[in-house]
Amino acid sequence: MTLPNYFYGGPPKAGSSWIYSLLAAHPEVFVPEGKYVQFFTDFYDRGINWYEKLYETATPEQTARCDLTTDYLFVPEAAERLAQHVPDARIFFSLRNPAERDWSAYQHLLRTGQARGSLEQEADTAHRLLSTCSAYSDAIERAWRLFGKENTHILWFDDIKSNPQAAADSLHDFMGVSRRMIDADDEGAKNVARAARNPYLNGMLKQGAVALRAAGLSKVLGKLKDSALVDKVLFSKDRVPKLRDTPDALAFLNDRHAAEIDRLETLLARDLSAWRGRP
């Protein structure tokens, strides 16, 4: 049975697009087109054979087969399913200042019509992109318990931005594949959040993307996402406001995540004081 052996532990909005581009370009790595598989969260009822077919074209040279779904380790049931089917899985995370990550997630939900209220109103809704995906400590401890600390790896979003080559080398080493020089112009995680022309249209297309994945048409979805025409139709040139320019949201998110930052510092023995009061 050909199943993935490397999994992105999350969270979303922390460099996953950069990670996807990096790994998809590596000849020793197989990543399904469409970026997010979502088997253990959304499509588990389709069965393990459906999942396996997504990886059946991996070549023997592609020793690292990846599932880059962004939230398996943040959903306890999904993490348990993953451990049941791939007990020797290796997990890597990319951690971003949770205030910045939440702000990016909130803007994404607005663009796709999944949120309409204020940040404070939406923060504790059932949508896990905001409600649980900044609970890094829970996800990491879950990964350690299910797969072993030795089989997990931590990337830092700030490092991806400041030294993408070193971040790439670190991930390649963890995956046991050869190091490769990345494009000299690669500035790391640099997706620019832009305003949606029509959030309701974006929301409808978001549901369409789910349907394409469910139908096994991730390759089509990938091509649509890369289409300049689709991008032009969906998004304006206007940038969304920066978190630092919205002091009320910044104060709310800093307070919301203060305890998590303290806990994470202890868990990973890393000074995260730069996250306090930022950006």
148-187 confidence digits (pLDDT tens): 999 999 999 999 999 999 999 999 999 999 999 998 666 6
List Cβ neighbours of 87 (8 Å cut-off, separation of 6 or more): 147
Task: Give the residue carrying structure tokens 């112009």.
Answer: 185
For residue 277, the 8-state DSSP code is T
> For every one of its 279 residues, what pLDDT tens digit does the chain have, with 9 covering 90 and above?
799 999 999 999 999 999 999 999 999 999 998 889 999 999 999 999 999 999 999 999 999 999 999 999 999 999 999 999 999 999 999 999 999 999 999 998 988 888 888 899 888 775 788 889 999 999 999 999 999 999 999 999 999 999 999 999 999 999 999 999 998 666 665 555 544 445 555 555 555 555 565 566 656 555 555 555 554 444 454 567 888 889 999 999 999 999 999 999 999 999 999 999 765
Closest CA to 36 of 49, 28, 24, 25: 24
pLDDT value of residue 272: 97
For residue 243, the 8-state DSSP code is G
pTM of the model: 0.82
Q: What percent of the chain has pLDDT over 90?
A: 65
pLDDT value of residue 237: 47
- Rounded Cα distance, 24 and 178, in Å: 14
- Rounded Cα distance, 13 and 86, in Å: 25
pLDDT value of residue 127: 76
241-244 — which CB contacts under 8 Å span 24+ positions? Answer: 242/279, 243/99, 243/100, 243/103, 243/279, 244/279
Domain 6-241: assigned CATH number: 3.40.50.300
**Tokens linked to 96:** 């971003």
pLDDT value of residue 235: 45
Q: Is 144 exposed, middle or buried (0-12, 13-18, 19+ CB in 10 A)?
A: middle
**Tokens linked to 221:** 């979805």
In a 3-state reduction of DSSP, which class is residue 34? coil
Integer CA distances (angstroms), 211 to 40, 52, 201, 204, in order: 16, 19, 15, 11
